[in-house]
Every structure is written in C-alpha cells, then in structure tokens.
Structure 1
Amino acid sequence: MALNEAALTAFLQDNMGVDPNDLDADAALFSSNLLDSFSMVELIMFIEQSADIKLNPSDIQLDNLDSINRILSFVDAAKDA
C-alpha cells in the first residue's frame, strides 16, 4: 500500500474518528487536538507500514506529523535519504 493523501485521510476518518469537515491536507492534527498523544502510536504504525519506513524517536515531532502534508513531506524525505 502506498502512503498518499487519500490513504491518510481515509485512515484518519475510519480509524481515528476525525470528522471529514475538520480535515484537509494542512489541518493541524495534534496541535489543534483533532488527535491526542494516544492516537500518535497508531498513526506512526500506519505510516511505517504504509510507507515501508521506520521512524526513529527523533522523527516523532510536530514538524513531521502535525498535518497530512507534513507527514507526506516527511515520508518523501525519509525515502530519499
């Protein structure tokens, strides 16, 4: 499975209960309280599985995970590294 905007949006709606009206590619996920810290573990596991990458503890920060666009940019950079 490829990680893309549609897959992330579906995951957030189906597994995290995020209202589609609150979700666009730049919507803040954690800093706006759409998701909480307990959701982060499940989101990280989804990202790792879908993108076939392993996140290091230093990768787990809002700069990388606070929106769909940030996640996709981080994944692209991680795959290029």
Structure 2
Amino acid sequence: MTAEETIGVSFQPFSRTIAAGRLSKDRRTFLAGKTEVTHQAAVAVAQWVLEKFPGGMTLTDDHGNGYQITARKMKNGEVETP
C-alpha cells in the first residue's frame, strides 16, 4: 500500500455485511478486492468500546445520524461481572 492509498470500511446494505478494502482516490468507492469483515469488525468494535468507553458511547455519522453503542463481555453465555 502506498501513501496515497486509503483503506475503507463500510456497511453493505444489500448483503447486510461489512466490507473493507482499498478505496479509490476520491474515497467514495472500493477498488477491486474488497473483503467481507463483518465478524472481525463487530468483535473489534466491541473490544474497543469495552476498553475505551466501559459505560458505552455515542457517535454521529457523516449524515448526522446518531448511534449509541454498549458492549458487555460474556463467558459461557453469561455476562461477566467486573
């Protein structure tokens, strides 16, 4: 990957999956070779929220839509207590 190349991650509404891959120069479309990363992305977000925002977090996308994200770690189907 060169300094000009950018990696993008995006929700794919038709397949209802998350894809990652190299973006075009205008950063609006994926170049050939995007990869489905739904599970990896979801786990990474859950781990990130637990580590940085244990009580949950809110964020806003580029269109002004707000989201609240909380995560709880589970073991053997049960929520772990801190």
Quick check: TM above 0.5?
Answer: no
Structure having the larger proportion of residues in strand:
2
Structure with larger RCO (C-alpha < 8 A, sep 6+): 1
Structure with max Cα Rg: 2
Higher helix share: 1
